[in-house]
Chains A and B, each alone.
Chain A
Amino acid sequence: MITVENLTKSFQGVSALNGVTLDVEAGTVLGVVGPSGAGKSTLARCVALLERPDSGAIRVDGTDITSLDGSALRAARRQIGVVPQGDSLLRQRTAAGNIALPLESAGVPGPQRRTRVGELLDLVGLTDKAAAYPDQLSGGQRQRIAVARALAANPSVLLADEPTSALDPETTGSVLTVLDRARAELGVTVLVVTHDMNVVRKICDDVAVLEQGRVVEHGKVLDLVGNPVSRTSSALLPAVDLNPINESSYDRVADVVLVGFAAVGALLPEAAHRFGVELNIVGGGLTRLGETPVARFRLGLNGERSDSALEWIGEAGGAVQRSLKGPQGVAA
């Protein structure tokens, strides 16, 4: 749906994007993460058609949008809903009036406009705030109105730059729910820029890690978490604290990532049972990526067939990350 090819952009000779290539499949949510100054906003602004890249292409539904002008540019902008970074609502308009703005730009007549605004207020759960002005809304409510506005003209793509950065964790949840509904109920393709890994955990199918204007990692979140050396995995999964005292009493110590209900629930007891080993969780924990439970555990095993048990866990779908304590480490 969105394809970014070899995008470059520099400001006064300072490079902000350095050959960025990405794609977002239709109806999925891509999270663009990375440290401050990595070029996330610049990328978002290029896709939002607020900034023209120096070179490269941005295709939305196959059409390159980087070189449009005039009315073609305005039409393309209507295809891309944008939730800008920071406060962006008109303070002199009601919530409903703000949501209506893109519809006015698109020349939608009054009665249809009101119907559509009603639908969007419902989508973001703020029907009772239709007549409220932005200064009467909380930060989370304002952000939901901004999402509703971005969705008003039925765009195929929704772009959000740090939609939750100014919000507390609770309010963040309500904004993420709205973004998730946009994808689920409207089939919109979402690109969300964030430095908050919780956003990735909760709503992203894919993730792209940007560093110094380059994509250093890009793929499905559930694939990347199973890869022990991926940045996504170390950022998203629970930390496995070192606990040498605990670990010294085991023949084998290994880290394992388990993805999905079946793996998380059943794999470890099954391994212990099959191979007749003692298997304990000595570190790590459980998290949730979207609807999928994902665990990273540090396991301590005792028993002759510990290596076989670990091998079996790997074959059964768990990602055994590393054996911290191999055969040579076993005390004589």
Chain B
Amino acid sequence: MRSATPWSDVITYLVEATGETLYMVGVSTVIATVLGVPVGVWLQLTAKGGLRPNTAVHRVLSFVTDLGRSMPFIVLLVALTSVTRLIVGGSIGSTAVIVPLAVGAIPFVGRLVQNILSEVHVTVVEAAITTGASTLKIVRSVLIRESLPALINAIGVTVIALIGYSAMAGVIGGGGLGDLAIREGYQRFNDRILWSTVAWLAVLTTVIQLGFTRAARAFDRRRHASV
């Protein structure tokens, strides 16, 4: 029977793992947003009733997006090793996890974004069309700006999902909170580490979720606007 890990050590572990998780999730969220939003916009533009309906393009794009979304992350993690090596110059460590995380999240973000953009009322879009606005202008000033609160929430959802995926990062030595819970906590029967990590993850995800909800509300001018 081992004595429990001292709390000071537990905290050191948590701090280090939190840093790794935030790094992996943060960078991959930024990449997934930068690349996923255009995918979502493109999906919506080419959809039936979109600004540039194109069934062929939409079908192909939808197929690829749904394929990407249905791929189990653990498979993506190992399957993308060679691509990862090419991009980041190595295939293990936190940085290496960013590639599969981002790749997995792009179609996820893309579909979320399309669903959100499709909610903008057709009369509002048509009104903008009648002003002589270009497609780019309508995308920016109408579709994206009108759905900004929902889009911010969607990024929040993506962050939470990526924290979940990043738990598998340990497979390629990425570290992070999930890895800490599994390797140090579960596999070594260290209940103190396991449950501290679980509790900390709960706090962390709640705070992140709350932050995004607040930010979304701050950008929302509907109903209780502050003027």
Of the stretches B94-102, B187-195, B216-224, the one at the interface is: B216-224
Contact of A133 with B221 in the complex, beta carbons under 8 Å: yes
Q: State which residues 55-106 of A face B: CB under 8 Å.
A: 74-78, 80-82, 84-94, 101-102, 104-106
Task: Note all chain B residues with C-beta closer than 8 A to A90.
Answer: 124, 128, 141-142, 145-146
B127: nearest residue on chain A (CB-CB)? Answer: A88
The interface size bin for chain B is 20 to 34
Task: Note all chain B residues with C-beta closer than 8 A to A14.
Answer: none
Contact of A92 with B130 in the complex, beta carbons under 8 Å: no
Contact of B132 with A105 in the complex, beta carbons under 8 Å: yes
CA distance A80 to B126 in the complex (A): 13
Contact of A92 with B222 in the complex, beta carbons under 8 Å: yes
A149 interfacial by beta-carbon distance below 8 Å: yes
CA distance A48 to B129 in the complex (A): 10
Partner of A88, one of B124, B137, B141, B219: B124
Task: Note all chain A residues with C-beta closer than 8 A to B225.
Answer: 133, 135-136
CA distance A246 to B186 in the complex (A): 100
Task: Note all chain B residues with C-beta closer than 8 A to A105.
Answer: 128, 131-134, 137
Contact of B221 with A88 in the complex, beta carbons under 8 Å: no
Known: A87-B123, A131-B227. A80 touches B222 (CB 8 A): no
B2 interfacial by beta-carbon distance below 8 Å: no
Known: A78-B131, A78-B132, A102-B132. A92 touches B146 (CB 8 A): yes
B192-210 interface bits toward A, Cβ cutoff 8 Å, 1 = contact, 0 = none: 0000000000000000000
Q: How far is the CB of A74 from chain B (nearest CB, A)?
A: 4
Task: Note all chain B residues with C-beta closer than 8 A to A101.
Answer: 128, 131, 133, 141
Task: Note all chain B residues with C-beta closer than 8 A to A87.
Answer: 121, 123-124
Contact of B222 with A84 in the complex, beta carbons under 8 Å: no
A153 interfacial by beta-carbon distance below 8 Å: yes
CA distance A84 to B129 in the complex (A): 11
B121: nearest residue on chain A (CB-CB)? Answer: A87
A148-159 interface bits toward B, Cβ cutoff 8 Å, 1 = contact, 0 = none: 011011000000
Partner of B126, one of A50, A76, A132, A152: A50
Q: How far is the CB of A58 from chain B (nearest CB, A)?
A: 14
Task: Note all chain B residues with C-beta closer than 8 A to A131.
Answer: 227
A237 interfacial by beta-carbon distance below 8 Å: no
A129: nearest residue on chain B (CB-CB)? Answer: B227
B148 interfacial by beta-carbon distance below 8 Å: yes
Contact of A85 with B137 in the complex, beta carbons under 8 Å: no
Contact of B130 with A80 in the complex, beta carbons under 8 Å: yes
Task: Note all chain B residues with C-beta closer than 8 A to A78.
Answer: 131-132
Task: Note all chain B residues with C-beta closer than 8 A to A85.
Answer: 123
Task: Note all chain B residues with C-beta closer than 8 A to A221.
Answer: none
Q: How far is the CB of A144 from chain B (nearest CB, A)?
A: 15
Task: Note all chain A residues with C-beta closer than 8 A to B131.
Answer: 77-78, 101-102, 105, 149, 152-153
Task: Note all chain A residues with C-beta closer than 8 A to B145.
Answer: 90, 92-93
Contact of B129 with A77 in the complex, beta carbons under 8 Å: yes
Task: Note all chain B residues with C-beta closer than 8 A to A89.
Answer: 124, 127
Q: How far is the CB of B121 from chain A (nearest CB, A)?
A: 7
Contact of A49 with B130 in the complex, beta carbons under 8 Å: yes
Q: State which residues 47-85 of B face A: CB under 8 Å.
A: none
A88-129 interface bits toward B, Cβ cutoff 8 Å, 1 = contact, 0 = none: 111111100000011011100000000000000000000000
CA distance A150 to B132 in the complex (A): 11
Q: What residues make up the interface of A, taking CB atoms closer than 8 Å to B? A: 48-50, 74-78, 80-82, 84-94, 101-102, 104-106, 131-133, 135-136, 146, 149-150, 152-153
Apart from the given pairs A84-B130, A86-B123, A102-B131, 14 other A-B contacts in the complex at a CB distance below 8 Å: A49-B130, A50-B126, A74-B134, A77-B129, A77-B130, A82-B127, A92-B146, A92-B221, A101-B131, A101-B133, A131-B227, A133-B221, A135-B223, A149-B131
Among all A-B residue pairs, the 9 with the closest Cβ atoms? A102-B131, A88-B127, A82-B130, A78-B132, A105-B133, A77-B132, A74-B132, A133-B221, A88-B123
Chosen A-B contacts, 21 in total, with CB atoms closer than 8 Å, are A50-B126, A50-B129, A77-B130, A77-B132, A84-B127, A84-B130, A85-B123, A87-B121, A87-B124, A88-B121, A89-B127, A90-B142, A92-B146, A92-B221, A102-B133, A104-B141, A106-B132, A135-B222, A149-B131, A150-B130, A153-B131
